[in-house]
């Protein structure tokens, strides 16, 4: 890693000499406005080195603090970032690459109406391009910045991990765009759709007389999508720079060293990079730099002197998820035996049959349509009552959240419909909810997860030269 860093430094110096300027001439100052729910608003100010030719002379396998900062700025869809001395003329061109002189900037949103199935596997991203000459060669760099979760629809896709078995396919559909069935289904489908949109853009703007370079970045959900895209464009033998910020685990594969150009930056105090739980077998492509912001709180307090850093202890959330969902196969497995489940008993068989049919219909077309549940047959028990049992896989909880997010009914009616299946999970959930509320976890999770927090973490990495520590 030291040799790579030396190459990075030397190549930067060579470039500076070749264009006849000092590094200070290429320092771009930025201001990033951030606000955390119910908490104080604050501004982060810093700078990064930028020139077009850096995409040509930098080794994509060498971590660049400057490109990492650009990534954390570029993926923000709220247009809170501003570069000093740059002018933004259109709302949709608020992305920093337009401010850096990139052209043909588009903010592309995937539309559910364009797809027959998997209508929640959507996202939005910025894309632009720029041509430049360096050392006698012509280059064209394409920047792609995938934003994080924008609302309920995106969260549904985040929860839709998927598993390639008949039960999941029966409930959810054929998933024609789920190319790699080992990957997280929501992220895999979405990345494939984004890839097609990128190809359409390349078809319109790519100049074959120029060498193509890709710069991919994303935050949170967008980080997972951009990480998958990074592998794809690397496999196409295109020089690819990839920086994923706070990316959740999204792919299932045997880790290797084939993708040293794909970087993931994770904050140990942030929950998202550790979802789904480790036992699901997911990870990310490339090299992960993983540090705890709490260890570098002095950097936060220097950059945000009016807002002291409070780190989140996400252990309670991790424990709950591990206890309930365990692993991918278990999450989508409905118990063959009706153990630890809810039973409904009635004095007459007719009454039992009526109620039984209500539940059968409810999970076919009601508020909890297509959930991973099982309604047992009506039988006579030892007390001469007629009863039937109800059970589900842990994925039922995903379905419950999704039904609420998608507005399939009012929240009260959905929860009432779901109550028979919730008993199995209530003890773990209650313990988790108490911990969550007692430690005021949500604002702290946001503080650790938002782009603003990662800009400060990257600054801490730079100040302490943490990139020399390759994690995996």
Q: Which residues pair with 251 in a beta bridge?
A: 283
DSSP per position, 327-348: SHHHHTPPPSS--S-EEEEESS
Task: Calculate the CA dihedral of residues 336, 339, 341, 346 and round it to 10 degrees.
Answer: 100
Query: Which of 9-13, 230-234, 398-402, 429-433 is least confident?
Result: 9-13
In Å, how far are 193, 270, 295, 403, 446 from 311, measured between CA atoms?
36, 9, 10, 32, 10
pLDDT, position 297 = 84
Specify whether the CB–CB gap between 300 and 309 falls below 8 A.
Answer: yes
The residue ranking higher by pLDDT, 185 or 320, is 185
Taking each helix axis from N to C end, the angle separating 411-422 and 395-405, rounded to the nearest 10 degrees, works out to 170
pTM: 0.86
Give the C-alpha separation, 368 to 348, whole Å: 27
SS3 (DSSP) at 423:
coil
Residues 6+ apart with CB under 8 A from 363: 369, 370, 371, 373, 375
Beta strands in 292-403 (DSSP E): 342-346, 373-375, 379-380, 386-392
172: nearest Cα among 122, 113, 121, 222: 121
220: nearest Cα among 162, 271, 260: 271
The pair of structure tokens assigned to 462 is 């730079």
Count other Cβ atoms within 10 Å, centred on residue 311.
20
197: nearest Cα among 122, 250, 98: 122
Beta strand 211-219 with 103-109 is unpaired
Q: Is the pLDDT of residue 455 over 60?
A: yes
Give the C-alpha separation, 68 to 436, whole Å: 31
Task: Calculate the CA dihedral of residues 52, 146, 318, 408 and round it to 10 degrees.
Answer: 170
324: nearest Cα among 338, 309, 340: 340
SS3 (DSSP) at 238:
coil
Beta strand 262-267 with 41-49 is unpaired
pLDDT, position 11 = 43
Q: What is the pLDDT of residues 258-285, one digit of tens each?
A: 799 999 999 988 889 988 887 788 899 9
Specify whether the CB–CB gap between 48 and 71 falls below 8 A.
Answer: no
pLDDT, position 359 = 80
pLDDT, position 404 = 74
Q: What is the pLDDT of residues 206-263, one digit of tens each?
A: 999 999 999 999 999 999 999 999 999 999 999 999 999 999 999 886 665 679 999 9
Q: Is the pLDDT of residue 91 over 50?
A: no
Specify whether the CB–CB gap between 372 and 395 falls below 8 A.
Answer: yes
Per this entry, what is the length of the chain?
A: 472
Place of tokens 């390759």: 470
Q: What mean pLDDT comes out for the span 151-163?
A: 87
Q: Is the pLDDT of residue 18 over 50?
A: no
Q: What mean pLDDT comes out for the span 50-59?
A: 96
191: nearest Cα among 241, 247, 273: 247
pLDDT band at 369 (very low <50, low <70, confident <90, very high): low
Specify whether the CB–CB gap between 386 and 348 falls below 8 A.
Answer: yes
- Which region, left, alpha or beta, applies to residue 193 given φ > 0 means left and ψ of -120 to 50 means alpha? alpha
Beta strands in 170-292 (DSSP E): 211-219, 239-245, 262-267, 287-291
Q: Is the pLDDT of residue 421 over 80?
A: no
DSSP per position, 50-107: --TTHHHHS-TTS--HHHHHHHHHHT-TT--EEETT----SGGG-SHHHHTT-EEEEE
Asked if residue 302 has a cis previous peptide bond (ω within 30° of 0), the answer is: no
pLDDT, position 16 = 35
pLDDT band at 392 (very low <50, low <70, confident <90, very high): confident
Beta strand 287-291 with 239-245 is unpaired
Angle (CA) 187-189-191 rounded to 5° is: 65
């Amino acid at each position: 890693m030291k040799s790579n860093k030396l190459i990075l430094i030397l190549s930067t110096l060579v470039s500076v000499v070749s264009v006849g300027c000092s590094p200070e001439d290429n320092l771009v100052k930025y201001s990033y406005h951030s606000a955390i729910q119910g908490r104080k608003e604050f501004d982060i100010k810093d700078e990064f080195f930028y020139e077009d030719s850096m995409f040509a002379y930098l080794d994509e396998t060498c971590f660049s603090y400057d490109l990492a900062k650009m990534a954390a700025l570029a993926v923000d869809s709220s247009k809170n970032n501003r570069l000093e001395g740059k002018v933004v003329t259109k709302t949709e061109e608020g992305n920093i690459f337009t401010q850096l002189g990139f052209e043909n900037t588009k903010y592309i949103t995937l539309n559910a109406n364009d797809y027959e199935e998997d209508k929640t596997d959507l996202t939005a991203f910025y894309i632009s391009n720029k041509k430049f000459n360096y050392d006698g060669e012509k280059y064209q760099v394409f920047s792609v910045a995938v934003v994080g979760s924008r609302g309920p629809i995106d969260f549904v896709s985040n929860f839709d991990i998927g598993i390639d078995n008949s039960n999941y396919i029966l409930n959810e559909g054929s998933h024609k765009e789920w190319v790699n069935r080992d990957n997280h289904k929501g992220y895999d489908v979405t990345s494939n759709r984004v890839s097609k949109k990128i190809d359409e853009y390349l078809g319109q703007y790519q100049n074959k007389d120029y060498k193509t370079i890709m710069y991919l970045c994303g935050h949170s959900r967008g980080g997972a999508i951009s990480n998958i895209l990074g592998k794809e464009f690397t496999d196409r033998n295109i020089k690819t720079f990839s920086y994923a910020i706070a990316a959740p685990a999204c792919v299932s594969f045997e880790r290797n060293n084939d993708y040293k150009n794909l970087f993931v930056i994770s904050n140990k105090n942030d929950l998202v990079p550790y979802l789904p739980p480790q036992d699901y077998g997911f990870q990310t492509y490339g090299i992960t730099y993983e540090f705890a912001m709490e260890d570098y709180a002095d950097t936060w307090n220097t950059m945000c002197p009016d807002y002291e850093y409070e780190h989140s202890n996400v252990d309670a959330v991790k424990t709950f998820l591990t206890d309930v969902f365990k692993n991918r196969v278990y999450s989508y497995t409905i118990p063959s035996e009706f153990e630890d489940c809810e039973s409904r008993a009635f004095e007459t068989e007719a009454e039992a049959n009526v109620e039984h049919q209500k539940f059968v219909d409810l999970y076919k077309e009601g508020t909890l349509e297509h959930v991973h549940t099982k309604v047992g047959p009506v039988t006579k028990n030892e007390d001469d009552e007629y009863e039937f049992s109800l059970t589900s896989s842990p994925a039922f909880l995903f379905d419950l959240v999704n039904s609420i997010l998608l507005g399939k009914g009012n929240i009260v009616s959905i929860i009432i419909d779901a109550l028979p299946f919730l008993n199995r999970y209530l003890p773990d959930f209650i313990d988790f909810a108490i911990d969550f509320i007692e430690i005021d976890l949500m604002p702290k999770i946001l503080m650790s997860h938002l782009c603003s927090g990662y800009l400060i973490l990257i600054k801490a990495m730079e100040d302490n030269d943490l990139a020399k520590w390759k994690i995996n």
